Amino acid sequence: MNNKQISILGCGWLGFPLAKHLITKGYHIKGSTTSKEKEPILKDAAIQPYVFRLGEKNHEEILKDFVNDSEIIVINFPPKRIPDIVTIYQEQINALLPYIQSTQKVIFVSSTSVYQNTNDWVTEAIENHPEKESGKAVLAVEQLLQSHLKENLTILRLAGLIGYDRVPGRFLAKKKEVANGKAPINVIHQDDCIGLINAIITQNAWGTIINGCADEHPLRETFYILAAEKVGLVPPQFKKSDTVQFKKISNTKSKTLLNYTYKYPDPLTLVT
């Protein structure tokens, strides 16, 4: 097995810059996309491209070659918001599992949507009761992967993704009567997502679950009003009185286990 090769399932908003970063570290990268049009873009970035959709038939040989000889496999694609999302997402991952060898390591890029609102801090140790179907789907896949991969799996639960072309000022601009304005937000910059994955790989931090989230948690109304104003859009209007439901994602484990320092610890610096 080539210990300088990594397969990245999903070379999109996060996977593509992650692949380019790992190439600078000396890794050969196999990257997947569902779009034939993206194949030359991956090639131009020195990524060995694979075009397939998990769950579709007649992709057995492609999947086998995609994971073959890689030390690490990064599973990085979110569930689609479709009916029966919980079942379909598990079926997609099940299509990949037969080709992963017992000696290979896996990073599953998960989501903090697996956590329920507690109106308090949440850590990796809390019992999960996701409230949305997307969170239920992600948690089901976490458990599926854990049952197959054991200590060869690390789960990275990322908060809301921001940075570069994902401009938070556009998310709620012009909206009125927006709920939960007094709730603290949980976000993470793309650079810190990549930094955490790189730290897991370089430090061989396997067999664990890690949250990825900025240190600071400004109020939702403060952040999104400033974000809209920064890009010249009409800021959202929040409800004057509201029942607040929230969770605050603790990133303590990422900083202690990986000795990681966040590049963007305070999201307000991105919108002021």
Whole-prediction pTM: 0.96
User: pLDDT tens digits, the chain, 272 residues: what are they?
Assistant: 556 999 999 999 999 999 999 999 999 999 999 999 999 999 999 999 999 999 887 778 999 999 999 999 999 999 998 999 999 999 999 999 999 999 999 999 999 999 999 999 999 999 999 999 999 999 999 999 999 999 999 999 999 999 999 999 999 999 999 999 999 999 999 999 999 999 999 999 999 999 999 999 999 999 999 999 999 999 999 998 888 999 999 999 999 999 999 999 999 999 99
**Beta-bridge partner residues of 197:** none
Q: Domain ranges in the chain?
A: 2-165+187-217+247-263
Retrieve residue 172's tokens.
Answer: 């709620």
DSSP assignment of 204-261, as one string? T--SEEEEE--S---BHHHHHHHHHHHTT-PPP-B-SS------EE--HHHHHHS---
Q: Which of 71, 63, 64, 58 is nearest to 105 (CA)?
A: 71
Q: What is the third-level CATH fold of 2-165+187-217+247-263? A: Rossmann fold (3.40.50)
